[in-house]
Amino acid sequence: MRRAPLALMGLLAAFAALSTCARAQDVAQRSGGGNLQLVPEPKNIERQPGEFVLPPHTRIVIESGEDEVAAQTLADEIKERGGSARISRGGSALRTPAIYLLRAASARARGALTQTGLRLDPDFDPQGYVLSASKGRIIVGARSAEGLFYGAQTLRQLIAERGHALVCPGVRIRDWPSLRWRGVHIDLSRGPVPTLATMKQQIRLLSSYKVNLYALYIEHIFDYQSQPLAAPREGALTAAEIRELVTYAGGYHVTVLPEQQAFGHLHGILKYDI
């Protein structure tokens, strides 16, 4: 049976935190972020007076159904930390204490972002975002669903527990990636083949750190219908599973890149006289 490589997940998370934490703190301090330790570190952080105390039943307001996954990651984070959150669509006045995920194309988003000094220009990176947290509300703005998703992941790291409350420090962030593609290479052929559930877990973890490319190294573990002997029955990935994974990853703005190896790495297939 396929086994879930949980050690890989722990190693990945530990490596990401240990290798970037010190640098993130240093950059944040230079840009006015105080001791905020965000991974990866945003391009620009400015601490603001006060903090946002999350209400007992925090509302997360979105403008588009495309942003449901981003909002759900926030709601799950709040729930894991002992709070409660619900997602609503459109219409709420920005005066209400809530978390707002806004598209730059909407008039109220442009007005709200201009008030915070975080106006988004038309040529702003589609993967970029701005974030404003103050006493009255939190606003995350972006030009695309991808940008809003990344802003939500930064906000997840900003939320902290204090006593029985959840708080977010007053902060303004303007951020965009340095690289268009930020990927991880997963070797599926030299060890336990991860289950579909484990690969989904990996995608959720990687996307929370703004990784957007999930490359699958494949030698002989894909279930080719034309060659039924090639892939091991106990650990082969089927076409249906790959299609499900691609669809799932898309919700987290992760592209799945298959890497079918050529003759130099096909011993697992070529050993059969078929």
pLDDT in tens, 13-47: 444 444 444 344 443 333 455 678 899 999 999 99
Query: What span, in angstroms and rounded, lies between the C-alpha atoms of 48 and 33?
Result: 9
DSSP state of 54: P
- For residue 268, the model assigns a pLDDT of 64
Mean residue pLDDT across the chain: 84
On whether the 183-270 domain is CATH 1.10.3860, my answer is no
* Each residue's pLDDT tens digit, 176-190: 999 999 999 998 887
Question: In angstroms, rounded to a whole number, what is the distance separating the alpha carbons of residues 236 and 224?
Answer: 9
Instruction: Please state which CATH number belongs to domain 39-175.
Output: 3.30.379.10
Looking at residue 221, its pLDDT comes to: 77
Q: In the chain, where does the domain assigned CATH 3.30.379.10 lie?
A: 39-175
Residue 50 region, left (φ>0) first, then alpha (ψ -120 to 50), else beta?
left
Per residue in 192-227, pLDDT (tens digit) is 888 999 999 999 999 999 999 999 988 877 877 777
Query: Residue 231 above 80 pLDDT?
Result: no
pLDDT at position 141, please? 95
pLDDT digits (tens, 9 = 90+) for 235-261: 788 889 999 999 999 999 999 999 877
What was the pLDDT predicted at 26? 40
Q: Check: CB of residue 168 under 8 Å from CB of residue 154.
A: no
Taking alpha carbons only, the member of 151, 133, 160 closest to residue 52 is 133
CATH 3.30.750 intervals, the chain:
183-270
Write the single-letter amino acid at 133.
Answer: A
